[in-house]
Chain A
Amino acid sequence: MSVRNREWPVVLALTPVLILILAPFVWLVISSFKTEAEIGRADPFTWPADLMWRNYLDAWQIGGFGELVGNSLINLVGVVLLSLITCAPAGYALAKIRFPGREWLFYAFILGLTVPVQAIVIPLYQVLFGLNLVNTLAGIVLVQVSNGIPFGIFLMRSFFIGVPDDLIEAAKIDGASHFQILTKVFLPISTPAVQALVIISALSTWNDFFLPLIVLISPEVQTLPLGLVRFASTYASDYRLVFSGTVISFLPIILLYILMQRRFTEGLTQGAIKG
């Protein structure tokens, strides 16, 4: 069986599936350039007579998308950095240092990996309220980091377990502390794990809806998914605004993925299998 012989029948069989799966994107992008009248005429895939770039300008201004994107970016950078700073050291300690209570800590973190965040939402809100963190980006960053800590620690820990102990012994003989071993020996060789942690925490933060819905009440502090939902329900009858606003919400991440698809794919599968 040559490669040639089995490639094209499969491609042929997959093409209709591909069209079906991507149809929502194509339809939204085409519709987002139409006038209200053209959308009303109900021929979903007909190309618009004129590309209405105005729709995007209107949606951007009316929906305050500049602010939403800005908030989402602050949220993302905060969560990714804080996750790395907290999960890498903890993962190292749990993987490579024997200390009393290690088992207990391990089980405590397993618990967090299992319990859905919706199941603790009432006290979580009360804690945030007590700390004056409701309606702040700092608040959403802290709860999302905490929510991701169990997975992040397990990811780093299972990667670090695979690093030979000889490396630690050698570094110790050279007088290195555990902190130096972590930063100078372990982290530089942990690119796959760090990459997985960055991609997974970035994607889940960028797309999170439930926690922002609880924490971020005023429009000025809201993130993109939350802002889009508010925008889409406010302008529900203005289809061109809803369509262009929706495209603004998903296009950047999709373009980024197409540019970096190999890293994304590696990070996500590595993360899932290790976690």
Chain B
Amino acid sequence: MAGHTGGLSARMSKGRAAGAALPEGSPNDDARTAFWLVAPALALYAVFTLLPIAATFWLSFNSSAGFNTSASFVGVGNYAKAAQDPIVWKSLVHTFAWLAYHVVMAGGLGLLLALAVSRLRITQVFFRTAFFLPHLVSLAVVGVIWANIYDPFFGLLNTALTQIGLGAFTQGWLSDPALVLFSVNVASSWQGFGLYMLLFIAGLQNIDHSLYDAAEVDGANAFQKLIYVTLPGLREVMTFVISLAMINGLKGFATVFVMTNGGPFYQSELITTYIYRLAFQSQDHGLAAVLCILLSLLAIVITIVFNRWRARLSQ
């Protein structure tokens, strides 16, 4: 121990002596400058992100009945409780379904519209701008808008269906337990697809145009060019959009909270909305913390899987 400390101080004084002899920009000076450049960001990040991450871990092994009560250690008790809570399982299943809906609807629409819009020359800016408009609206405001669209009596959807003679398709879009998660996701995807479309358009612009010329020389038709040139050229953007859509989907909260608050009968409860309910309404912090860990793990796994996939593609 003493030897170790001695070695460290010797190294430090040696560094100081060398620093005095060297011109500006020695490793020692650099380290000090780097520290001051990173310090403001690191301080904020440590207090409001790193510390809470660590504390969430700690909390998941403790039980606490509210913000003003002291916690007691319960080991894996909260994890056992979570495994037995049917709403935890429901919210997990709903979250996976929610991600799948979002990737297919928002990602799919983004891709289709990008393919179409990128063919335009004169009107491209107009269509791109117009299709992007929903993305500018806050998801909470989207929730208010779509709650009114789905309103069974005054809502746009049911009245429009009735007017065009499809009255048979009118529904209680948010009151039907089998439909509610999908209905809310339509609203989220309506808001989300615009960004994915922009990313796909950027990806399409990066495809080497000579590949199309070569395909044309070989006698490829439009469909073959799509399959053999365009889609392979988009592979990297596609993995990126899918991972972004999944992470965005995982953070989904506002539309559900505003439109259904997880109901009816927990049929639109997501992990995020259940965390909020447990933490701020029923004040079961231990159980909420377990769900927080679960949510983080999902996010980390998704990120790692897609980064690996992306790295393999770009080799």
Contact = CB atoms under 8 A, between A and B. Distances in A.
Interface of A: 3, 6-7, 10-11, 13-14, 17-18, 21-25, 27-28, 39-40, 42-44, 85-87, 89-90, 92-94, 97-100, 102, 105, 108-109, 111-127, 129, 142-143, 145-147, 149-150, 153, 172, 175, 177-179, 182, 203, 206-210, 213-214, 224-226, 228-229, 232, 239, 242-243, 246, 249-250, 253-254, 257-258, 261, 264-265, 268-269, 272-273
Given A24-B190, A207-B139, 17 more contacts: A11-B127, A44-B160, A44-B163, A89-B41, A97-B33, A98-B30, A99-B27, A109-B45, A111-B53, A116-B247, A116-B295, A119-B295, A127-B52, A178-B33, A213-B257, A250-B136, A258-B129
Given A122-B288, A122-B289, A269 B27 contact: no
Contact of B50 (A17, A21, A112, A121): A112
Given A97-B33, A120-B52, A150-B45, A210 B133 contact: no
A228 B147 CA distance: 13
A24 B156 contact: yes
A121 B275 contact: yes
A226 B144 CA distance: 11
A262 B144 CA distance: 29
A28 B156 CA distance: 9
Given A21-B134, A210-B254, A265-B132, A127 B51 contact: yes
Contact of A99 (B35, B125, B132): B35
With most chain B CB atoms within 10 A of its CB, the pick from A24, A239, A249, A273 is A24
B25 A115 contact: no
A28 B116 contact: no
Q: Which 5 A-B pairs have the closest CB atoms?
A: A123-B55, A146-B48, A207-B138, A120-B52, A123-B52
Contacts of B119: 6-7, 10
A105 B38 contact: yes
A111 B296 CA distance: 10
A92 to B, nearest CB: 6
Contacts of B247: 114, 116
A3 B123 contact: no
With most chain A CB atoms within 10 A of its CB, the pick from B136, B163, B293 is B136
Contact of B37 (A89, A124, A149): A89
Contacts of B143: 229
Nearest to B199: A272
Contacts of A122: 52, 55-56, 59, 279, 285, 288-289, 292
B56 A24 contact: no
Contact of B159 (A42, A85, A265): A42
A43 B163 contact: yes
B103 interface: no
A258 B133 CA distance: 9
A23 B134 CA distance: 11
A24 B285 contact: no
With most chain B CB atoms within 10 A of its CB, the pick from A14, A85, A105, A111 is A14
B296 A7 contact: no
A268 B300 contact: no
B41 A149 contact: yes
A273 B239 CA distance: 12
Contacts of A273: 199, 202, 240
A21 B131 contact: yes
B253 A112 contact: no
B125 A210 contact: no
B159 A44 contact: yes
Interface string B112-136: 0100110111110101111111101
B303 interface: yes
A127 to B, nearest CB: 6
A210 B280 CA distance: 12
A121 B279 CA distance: 8
Nearest to A261: B129
B251 A147 contact: no
Contacts of A102: 34
